[in-house]
Amino acid sequence: MIKVHSYESMGTYDGPGLRLVVFLQGCNFRCLYCANPDTIALQGGTLTDPEEIVRMALSQKAFFGKKGGITFSGGEPTLQAKELIPLFKRLKAEGIHICLDSNGSVWNQDVEELLQLTDLVLLDIKQFNSQRHQELTKHSNSQTIKTAAWLEEHNKPFWLRYVLVPGYSDFEEDIMMLGEQLTNYKMIQRIEILPYHTLGVHKYEIMGQEYQLKNIKENTPEQIEKAAGLFKRFFNCVYVN
Amino acid sequence: MESVKKFKDGLWSKEINVKDFVSNNIKPYDGDASFLQGPTEITKQIWDICLQAIEEERANNGLRSLDNKTVSTITSHKAGYIDKENELIVGLQTDELLKRAIKPFGGINVVARACKENGLEVDEKVKDIFTHYRKTHNDGVFDVYTDEIRSFRSLGFLTGLPDNYARGRVIGDYRRLALYGIDRLIEAKLQDLQTLTGPMTEARIRLREEVADQIKALKDIKVMGEYYGLELSRPAHTAQEAVQWVYMAYLAAVKEQDGAAMSLGNVSSFLDIYIDYELSNGTIDETFAQELIDQFVIKLRMVRHLRMQSYNDIFAGDPTWVTEAIGGRLNDGRHKVTKTSFRFLQTLYNLGPSPEPNMTVLWSPELPEGFKSFCAKVSIDTSSIQYENDDLMRSVRHSDDYGIACCVSFQDIGRQIQFFGARANLAKALLLAINGGRCENTGTLMVKDIPVLTGDVLNFDEVMANYKKVLKEIARVYNDAMNIIHYMHDKYYYEKAQMAFVDTNPRINLAYGAAGLSIAADSLSAIKFAKVKAQRNDIGLTTGFDIDGDFPCYGNDDDRVDSLAVELTHHFSEELSKLPIYKNARPTLSILTITSNVMYGTKTGATPDGRKKGVAFAPGANPMHGRDAKGAIASLTSVAKISYEDAQDGVSNTFSIVPKSLGVTEEDRVDNLVDMMDGYFSKGAHHLNVNVLNREMLEDAMEHPEKYPQLTIRVSGYAVHFVSLSREHQLEVISRSFHNRM
């Protein structure tokens, strides 16, 4: 059984084309800006038969067109890698394109097998600077960088996603360092800058938790433009989501 | 005839058969939109005059001027112009732009009230004639209505019946005038009349009289043409004449009739044949071709009918449903997309967005990519297109030359017509099943022998058994009402101008309708999967429901509840098809509300799904807003399960989305919308309105209507200008699911 938080059947922002996005329950990061705090707890979610997810994907396969498919997001989906492996195999057998939206921090044999079964990885690098990454997510980024290298080495196409949080992840030197390290990666098909937003703040109120970034304002167009400019020095395909 | 030599001969050369002409001469276009031209200065000048007039109309409570004396007929008003020297296509319903006319054959009381509501009295002489000497449709119907029908009507079980307004929905094959000219059409009708011999049964006598009336109408149309200096007796020779002739045939229809929907048919690819011929010969250029279509569309946008306020409550936004079906495929595998298909859509840029004419794209995943992408782009930019499933309609209805009557209704052009039937309220009917056959609001006994439910918690099998009895009775009363209405409409307000462009003795479909499907399905789901207790007042009528536990809601691709919606549609359709219909019409059913879902909600008490008394229904076959928890595709997938076989008058669905939600880049948005429609229609869905807008835009438009004069919103099967909706309707539109991803 798989712990599912929720579904978005018309995903247009999590991988190419129209996608069924399955948000899984549970995360190992504690990102200060998290817009889905209700997906963090390892307990909870709806225990779901993988066949139900296959059924839903098949039911909407007609909408996927040439580019679309299914995306597993979260939470951190690789926490359930073992349970996902047979599901990914079923989906592949049905000819469904699979994206995996991951922070890249979990590594074990199951994750490795899962990545092998994935068509396109959406790799979230929250910060390249390890210390600032730690502050932002309460977790190290060393495995994430290694995961990027693994994807490159194993010819696994991936999109690099970067949440742009003012004062936390928009430092020029950090973005430059990231670019210098990864600029030669041939498997990076796209860079997606995800501007910081506060659409998840109300969830903290409902959950009775304090939102940590109360004083952080959304990016100005200039901030976004600047970050995009920095990435464009190193990569061809830079998009602002 | 000169026109004949230009085009490839076929059956059409020997008989009245436009379909054959199109099939022999159409030039499908596989390219993209890059050839299109902007508006000419002259077009802009004419359109500016119209915009000024529209502003005056809006400032004057929606009516610019009114002729309260002249009974509108094909020849009643002399020529009217917008800008005589510059108009390429001429003709107005009256002698002045946006001046409305009276059409009392439908009902003198209706006309009198509409005049009064606009501060005028209907002319005394007209009133006298239509009160004392000439009976009307409305009077005929109410003379004959039974007490039972009156009660189902007034309490809101059957609503919007075309008994106090004209039924509309008949589409003449207006192309015939251009291809053949009046003289040839009269000749054909005279031949038909000769073969309609005895025995002189009532049906035969009636048909002979109808054909005789059609011939008179054709003669009148010739006279109307003369007002404008047009020789309509002969076929059109040029592209400009072809457009003009088609418009004259349509104009005759909207001068004589004020039906709820006065649709145009599928004229664009027909006109393309004439335009393409002249473009190839070099006698016109693309700019002129676009100018012709722009000016034609300006005329279609200026069509108006006089309505009373109670009519606006059902059909909000002053609609005319000048529906034009664009695209689709031929049965031989060729597609029907032409450059003029593009030119029609281009008017939404050249003149700005508009609900009229109601552009309806007949979609197939097999249509050329260039056209599909252009449609998606126009949808994103203007929200002014609706889509219907061409593959589905061709395979189930067998014709590849059809138009759409009103919003969703298939009509084999020139060979079939349709009787419009408004709709029955399925949600309110369910409350009869729970209230022993009594109206939940008044306690009136509507259906006898419905057992009173005994248990504390509603029992699904008990409710369902009662519901089936109720639906059978509602179908019976509904059928009675329809037979009376269409008998009287034929008798007192026969559409002779439109029927003159239709085959003699066409096949007729009776378009029944149903509202409140999602409420009924969710209510049944609640009763089946949760524990529902009825709260009852002191005379035992339900006032609310306590729901304990979860239940699946329609709109989440969950077969447990979607199957309830599918089966309910099937069951009601079956009940209706058991009943005999006037003129041997064939029953069809639509799951469609236009804007009347608001009014239906007002008339319906609290329902077992948790909906409170008076709350608006979801439109058409849409899932109830806010209950689709898995996003838009799951919602579309649920609706796609409703079988078109069971609802051949159409299954309407409205999809609203803010542009950003369609994708990151403009290219993504276009591609995603194309994929969405390919997916939706390949799953056997029938119809989709696409609204691409944002909530802030709508909220701002409520406060500042003057800033959004052309803001078009699609509501179930139709588009209206947002600013012309009542505040209640505006709020309803805003509260609909925006599928706004977080």
Cβ atoms A75, A39 nearer than 8 A: yes
Peptide bond into B619 cis (omega under 30): no
**Rounded to the nearest 10 degrees, how much is the dihedral formed by the CA atoms of B207, B209, B215, B220?**
-130
Contact list, B672 vs chain A (CB under 8 Å): 12, 17-18
Number of H helices, E strands in chain B: 27, 19
Assess whether B381 and B425 both reside in one domain.
no
Give yes or no for B376 touching A (CB within 8 A): no
Q: What is the 3-state secondary structure (H, E, C) of B268-323?
A: HHHHHHHHHHHHHHCCCCHHHHHHHHHHHHHHHHCCCCCCCHHHHHHCCCCCCCCE
Q: Does residue B719 register a pLDDT over 80?
A: no
Residue B721 banded pLDDT, cuts 50, 70, 90: low
Name the residue among B717, B719, B671 with its Cα closest to residue B693. Answer: B719
Tally the domains of chain B.
Answer: 2
Tell me the two tokens of residue B103: 């059409």
Assess whether B213 and B240 both reside in one domain.
yes
Give yes or no for A93 touching B (CB within 8 A): no
Least confident of A104-108, B115-119, B316-320, B352-356: B316-320
Q: What is the CATH number of the domain that holds B366?
A: 3.20.70.20
In whole angstroms, what is the distance from residue B435 CA to residue B431 CA? Answer: 6
Of A14, A55, A59, A197, which to mutate for an interface test with B (greatest number of B Cβ within 10 Å)? A59
Tens digits of residue pLDDT in B449-470: 999 997 889 999 999 999 999 9
Contact list, A56 vs chain B (CB under 8 Å): 557, 634
Catalytic residue among B115, B375, B407, B553: B407
Assess whether B402 and B429 both reside in one domain.
no
Of A4, A5, A8, which to mutate for an interface test with B (greatest number of B Cβ within 10 Å)? A8
Tens digits of residue pLDDT in B475-504: 999 999 999 999 999 999 999 999 999 999
Kindly identify which residue of chain A lies nearest to residue B674, measuring between CA atoms: A65
Name the residue among B285, B413, B262 with its Cα closest to residue B339. Answer: B285
CA A8 to chain B, closest CA, distance in angstroms equals 5
Mean pLDDT of B417-434: 96
Q: Does residue B346 register a pLDDT over 90?
A: yes
In whole angstroms, what is the distance from residue B31 CA to residue B35 CA? Answer: 9
Give yes or no for B660 touching A (CB within 8 A): no
Start-to-end Cα distance in chain B = 64
Assess whether B385 and B444 both reside in one domain.
no
Contact B739 A62 (CB under 8 A): no
Assess whether B405 and B451 both reside in one domain.
no
Assess whether B607 and B567 both reside in one domain.
yes
Between positions 38 and 57 of A, the ones with CB within 8 A of B are 56
Assess whether B363 and B474 both reside in one domain.
no
What pLDDT is attached to residue B651? Answer: 97
What pLDDT is attached to residue B706? Answer: 59
What pLDDT is attached to residue B714? Answer: 42
User: Which residues have C-beta within 8 Å of that of residue A42, sequence separation ≥ 6?
Assistant: A25, A26, A79
What pLDDT is attached to residue B315? Answer: 80
Name the residue facing A59 among B631, B637, B682 (closest C-beta). Answer: B637
CA B637 to chain A, closest CA, distance in angstroms equals 7
Assess whether B336 and B319 both reside in one domain.
yes
In whole angstroms, what is the distance from residue B433 CA to residue B447 CA? Answer: 9
Name the residue among B249, B307, B298, B299 with its Cα closest to residue B101. Answer: B307
φ/ψ (deg, to 5) at B691: -105, 115
Kindly identify which residue of chain A lies nearest to residue B659, measuring between CA atoms: A12
Give yes or no for B638 touching A (CB within 8 A): no
CA A108 to chain B, closest CA, distance in angstroms equals 32
Give yes or no for A7 touching B (CB within 8 A): yes
The pLDDT mean for chain A works out to 94
What pLDDT is attached to residue B594? Answer: 73
Topology classification of domain A2-240: TIM Barrel (3.20.20)
Residue B589 lies in a domain: yes
Cβ atoms B588, B648 nearer than 8 A: yes
What pLDDT is attached to residue B731? Answer: 74
Tens digits of residue pLDDT in A148-164: 999 999 999 999 999 99
Give yes or no for A189 touching B (CB within 8 A): no
Q: Does residue B69 register a pLDDT over 50?
A: yes
Q: Which residue would you say has higher pLDDT here, B659 or B422? A: B422
Contact A10 B678 (CB under 8 A): no
Residue B593 banded pLDDT, cuts 50, 70, 90: confident
Kindly identify which residue of chain B lies nearest to residue A194, measuring between CA atoms: B664
In whole angstroms, what is the distance from residue B597 CA to residue B732 CA? Answer: 10
Residue B375 is a catalytic residue: no
Mean pLDDT of B301-329: 91
Mark residue A130 as left, alpha or beta (left: phi above 0; alpha: psi -120 to 50; beta: remaining): alpha
Give yes or no for B637 touching A (CB within 8 A): yes
Tell me the two tokens of residue B454: 């005994």
In whole angstroms, what is the distance from residue B564 CA to residue B552 CA? Answer: 11
Hey, CA dihedral for B305, B310, B316, B321, is it positive or negative?
negative
Assess whether B525 and B542 both reside in one domain.
yes
CA B671 to chain A, closest CA, distance in angstroms equals 8
Contact B678 A65 (CB under 8 A): yes
Residue B262 lies in a domain: yes
**Rounded to the nearest 10 degrees, how much is the dihedral formed by the CA atoms of B560, B561, B563, B567?**
140
Mean pLDDT of B664-671: 92
Kindly identify which residue of chain A lies nearest to residue B675, measuring between CA atoms: A65
Contact A9 B630 (CB under 8 A): yes
**Rounded to the nearest 10 degrees, how much is the dihedral formed by the CA atoms of A152, A156, A157, A163?**
-70
Kindly identify which residue of chain A lies nearest to residue B668, measuring between CA atoms: A17
Tell me the two tokens of residue B576: 């209706």
Of B553, B675, B681, B737, which to mutate for an interface test with A (greatest number of A Cβ within 10 Å)? B675
Contact B663 A12 (CB under 8 A): yes
Radius of gyration of chain B (CA): 25
Assess whether B477 and B398 both reside in one domain.
no
Contact list, B629 vs chain A (CB under 8 Å): 6-7
> What is the distance of C-alpha A59 from the center of its chain?
25
Contact A60 B629 (CB under 8 A): no
Residue B406 is a catalytic residue: yes
Give yes or no for B678 touching A (CB within 8 A): yes
Residue B318 banded pLDDT, cuts 50, 70, 90: confident
CA B595 to chain A, closest CA, distance in angstroms equals 26
Give yes or no for B682 touching A (CB within 8 A): yes
Mean pLDDT of B120-132: 97
Residue B661 lies in a domain: no
Tens digits of residue pLDDT in B12-68: 999 999 999 999 999 999 999 999 999 999 999 999 999 999 999 999 989 999 999
Name the residue facing B741 among A8, A66, A192 (closest C-beta). Answer: A8
Assess whether B349 and B488 both reside in one domain.
no
Mean pLDDT of B94-98: 97
SS3 A6: strand
CA B723 to chain A, closest CA, distance in angstroms equals 30
Q: Give the pairing of strands A188-195 and A238-240.
A: parallel
Instruction: Give the whole-number percent of chain B exceeding pLDDT 70.
Output: 95
Of B634, B651, B668, which residue sits at a domain end? B651
Range of the domain at B84: 2-134+165-414
Of B353, B382, B414, which residue sits at a domain end? B414
Tens digits of residue pLDDT in A109-127: 999 999 999 999 999 999 9
What pLDDT is attached to residue B715? Answer: 41
In whole angstroms, what is the distance from residue B519 CA to residue A78 CA? Answer: 40
Assess whether B226 and B249 both reside in one domain.
yes
Q: What is the ipTM of this complex?
A: 0.95
Give yes or no for B295 touching A (CB within 8 A): no
Q: Does residue B643 register a pLDDT over 90?
A: yes
CA B558 to chain A, closest CA, distance in angstroms equals 9
Instruction: Give the whole-number percent of chain A exceeding pLDDT 90.
Output: 84
